[in-house]
Amino acid sequence: MKLEVYNIKGKELGRKIDLDKSVFQIDPSHHAIYLDVKQHLANKRQGTNSTKQRSFIKGSTRKIKKQKGTGTARAGNIKNPIFRGGGRVFGPLPRDYKQKVNKKVKNLARKSALSIKAKENAIKVLDKFDLKKPQTKDFLKILKDFGFNDKKSLVVLGESNKNVYLSSRNLKNSKVVIVSELNTYSISNASNLIFDEKAVLGIVNVLKK
């Protein structure tokens, strides 16, 4: 598959870039995408919700009444969950939600997501994505030139660019990443992808290993 290469103003440069078939034109595995996205979202969970069970409550351990003959339920101490101020029964405790996905499955998932976007013609390639200074309106103008200003867009750079990152960080529907930060969730969650030429080569080098 070949795609037109554009400049930063959205105009064609009269040349095309060849997208590697083994990365951008595979038969997508939806199950691999599901596993990788599930792992990504699970790993973002903090797992810090917590409650105090009876072992965490401060209070006397003295038995508050005799075992039998009171006509009411037996009770041990004031930390019993049936009393006000007592411990919580089966309440949530801090836990680790992290999951593991094999490297081969993750690579397959990313290639599958990229292949789906390529088939949908949702990928644009720029010769170079650069801004002279951090300016959000300049970044928005680039998206507008491609018709992406009202859609979720993911910009993938071959190398870190501070001006581009600072120009985009306040935008809700746009995200800038470098090749090493690219993941299946970001690809699938975006309506359109914008790569610079270095990023295309970098992705191929990473996913063909």
Residue with tokens 């903090």: 46
Averaged pLDDT, 195-202: 92
Secondary structure (3-state) at 111: helix
pLDDT tens digits, one per residue of 169-183: 988 889 999 999 999
The mean-pLDDT minimum among 112-116, 145-149, 153-157, 198-202 falls in: 145-149
Specify whether the CB–CB gap between 111 and 27 falls below 8 A: no
pLDDT tens digits, one per residue of 20-73: 999 999 999 999 999 999 999 999 999 999 999 999 999 899 999 999 999 998
pLDDT over 90 at 151, yes or no? no
**Model's pTM, two decimal places?**
0.82
Q: What is the CATH number of domain 2-45+99-207?
A: 3.40.1370.10
**pLDDT value of residue 46:** 92
Closest listed residue to residue 142, CA positions, set 167, 178, 115: 167
Specify whether the CB–CB gap between 157 and 164 falls below 8 A: yes
pLDDT level of residue 209 (50, 70, 90 thresholds): low
- Phi/psi-derived region of residue 59, left when phi > 0, alpha when psi is between -120 and 50, beta in every other case: left
pLDDT over 90 at 105, yes or no? yes
Round to whole Å and give the CA distance between 192 and 118: 10
CATH 3.40.1370.10 residue ranges in the chain?
2-45+99-207
pLDDT over 70 at 95, yes or no? yes
Round to whole Å and give the CA distance between 194 and 152: 11
Question: Which residues share a beta bridge with 123?
Answer: 193
